[in-house]
Chains A and B, each alone.
Chain A
Amino acid sequence: MSNSLETAQHPETLRRIAIDPISRVEGHGKVTILLDENNHIHQVRLHIAEFRGFEKFIQGRPYWEVPVMVQRLCGICPVSHHLAASKALDAIVGAKQLTPTADKIRRLMHHGQMLQSHALHFFHLCSPDLLFGFDSEVSQRNIVGIAAKYPETARRGILLRKYGQEVIRHTAGKRIHGTSSVPGGVNKSLSLAERDELLKDSEEMVAWSRDAVQLVKELHFKNSELYNSFGAFSANIMSLTAADGSMDLYDGQLRGRDAAGHIMFDGVKDQDYTTLIAEQVKNWSYMKFPYLKTLGPEQGWYRVGPLSRVQNCDFIATPLAEIERREFIAYSGKSLLHAPLAYHWTRMIEMLHAAETIRDLLHDNDIMGSDLTVRGERGFEGVGIIEAPRGTLIHHYRVDENDLISMCNLIVSTTHNNQAMNEAVRRVAQQYLHGHEITEGLLNHIEVAIRAFDPCLSCATHALGKMPLEVEVLDASGEQMSYLARAGDGASINC
């Protein structure tokens, strides 16, 4: 499955183009492309400055602080870290089975996160590419451009985001730094007033999510040749599924399929993930490359996230999303659909599932219950796996006799997708850059491929004044031949 463009034979004789960092992707990423004097591509690599200092940040802290602390790892998906840590630490307090209220409040929070994250990605981050085209004016490729030409689409994007954030606020207790999910359960349920406030808009959110699926489907059908081939590569897939094979974004067991869609493993418990997955270090990347141990690093890498989840499960338990899943599966035929741009379609199917799940949970009186936590025999090690918006998220902790974290290992969704994103970039480079002079439109093709995965790179600070995009061209001797930077306000700097 691997592409031969990972390492060039004689990189010292080649020209280097760097795109750093990638716009509209969280954090810092850099794409380097080595070209010879005829603009033929010899090497393509996506470098990601991964979360640094996770272990140092968490080790030595009391375990009960961790679900709150880990939210600060990421400004984009703090809720996913909050819940994955809580799930891992359930084992420390001996909570084998949460109360119905705790389980449902956590699920409600998680689906709120899924709804708002998917809405942001589709309406704000990728719709400009999809609605205006990959070569369109840079001034259009943003939410402002969308708002000007598609005002209702932009409006719904904002309101879906707001609704998801309100679900999080009510279930987590605060807008940010939520504290409600704790080892063993939750420390708050919903009041009747909170439930009613969320309930009144829930049907509209389902309807809008359904419309979003139709929109993305329409875009896919309209240009299916491009959508099915752009950056496409075959890959193994992995996700959680429920015991009955249905999609479960909050809990379940690990299932993997090969590129043809055959199940390779199923029912692997979260606590046993280390029997399944190992991580490879490459000297050119800060980010590790996870792989399935049975297949080894060359053949065992896999893809996670919506495109994998929708094709990995046997069914979706909410009716409207299930209709859409079936249509997607019918469209892809007998084998899996591996096209990165199909992420958008599946992401919207998941958003619809999240909206339906939120509505259904709001009709369940357990979310207003008072039985919040359970305790059992004290444990010293726990693993929590959750399907975060971008894919599988693993939290693994050991806790010592003094209740302090003695070991922590986190594998975030973007790390699982590291090799897959590299493959997508190589395919796009082969398809669109080979033998061409580099233009902004062509470079955006690479960014479009990366954005399809919705990567969360490094959770960088957002501090004002950062350059979101730099392009550097070097010759074989390392001399800079040209440079292009685009600031956050859109101003371009050439030299």
Chain B
Amino acid sequence: MPAATLIFAIGNESRGDDALGPLLLRELASWLKDGGREKGEGLLEQFELIEEFQLQIEHAMDIKDRKRVFFIDAGMDTPSPFHFYRLQASDQPVLYSHALSPAALLNVYVQFYKESPPDAYVLCIKGETFELGELLSGNACENLALALTFAKQCLLEAESSAWNITSSRRNNL
């Protein structure tokens, strides 16, 4: 069986704030490798971490047999510092280019496996600049730090229903 929780970061680290997803994922990877310190041993086994440039149709197969999926992405119109929300499969038209939105991916999952997708959440971190060769912007650095604190707490509470308390948690930061 695959790990119960899939953490799926999307982004290109050479395109300015698009690196937010991959950078957060790597921070989480190193934190989990250390056992989550506060949590003790065994935390790493509960999670699988995947990084991709973009979501594609075949990624529906990566979320099979998971209890939950945690998408991490950068957003242009996202409220600062980030937005955390529960995701529903979307049957709306998908007009993205060569990439899918997380909601569209869940819908591909439903169509492909003929079953409900795992619980899915999006942590979308506010970014500002996305040009090739740019570094992470100053504001994005701050947002990343806040998102990391929040994400660690989420992972520690992965087995509870606390994830469903969404935007209120963000607002309390």
Q: A288 at interface (Cβ–Cβ under 8 A)?
A: no
On whether A463 and B101 interact (CB within 8 A), knowing A75-B53, A141-B93, the answer reads no
Contact B132 A489 (CB under 8 A): no
Chain A-chain B contacts (Cβ-Cβ < 8 Å), number: 162
List residues of chain B with CB within 8 A of the CB of A151.
Answer: 111
Contact A465 B104 (CB under 8 A): no
List residues of chain B with CB within 8 A of the CB of A103.
Answer: none
Among B15, B78, B90, which residue has the most Cβ atoms of chain A within 10 A? B15
Q: B144 at interface (Cβ–Cβ under 8 A)?
A: no
- Minimum CB distance partner of B100 in chain A: A143
B10 smallest CB distance to A (angstroms): 7
B158 smallest CB distance to A (angstroms): 23
Name the interface size band of chain B: 35 or more
A474 smallest CB distance to B (angstroms): 23
On whether A489 and B97 interact (CB within 8 A), knowing A72-B15, A75-B12, A463-B130, the answer reads no
Q: A154 at interface (Cβ–Cβ under 8 A)?
A: yes
List residues of chain B with CB within 8 A of the CB of A26.
Answer: 97-99
Interface residues of A, count at CB 8 A: 60
Contact A488 B95 (CB under 8 A): yes
List residues of chain B with CB within 8 A of the CB of A148.
Answer: 111
Contact A162 B108 (CB under 8 A): no
Complex Cα spacing A26 to B52, Å: 16
- Minimum CB distance partner of B93 in chain A: A490
Contact A53 B90 (CB under 8 A): no
B-contacting residues, A41-91, CB 8 Å: 51-54, 56-57, 69, 72-73, 75-76, 78
Complex Cα spacing A255 to B127, Å: 45
* A-binding segment of B30-38, B55-63, B148-156, B160-168: B55-63
Q: A281 at interface (Cβ–Cβ under 8 A)?
A: no
Contact A147 B112 (CB under 8 A): yes
- Minimum CB distance partner of A22 in chain B: B97
22 interchain pairs (CB within 8 A)? A24-B96, A25-B98, A53-B131, A53-B132, A76-B54, A78-B53, A120-B98, A144-B107, A145-B93, A147-B111, A151-B111, A158-B112, A161-B56, A461-B130, A462-B11, A462-B18, A462-B73, A462-B96, A463-B73, A464-B77, A466-B76, A490-B95
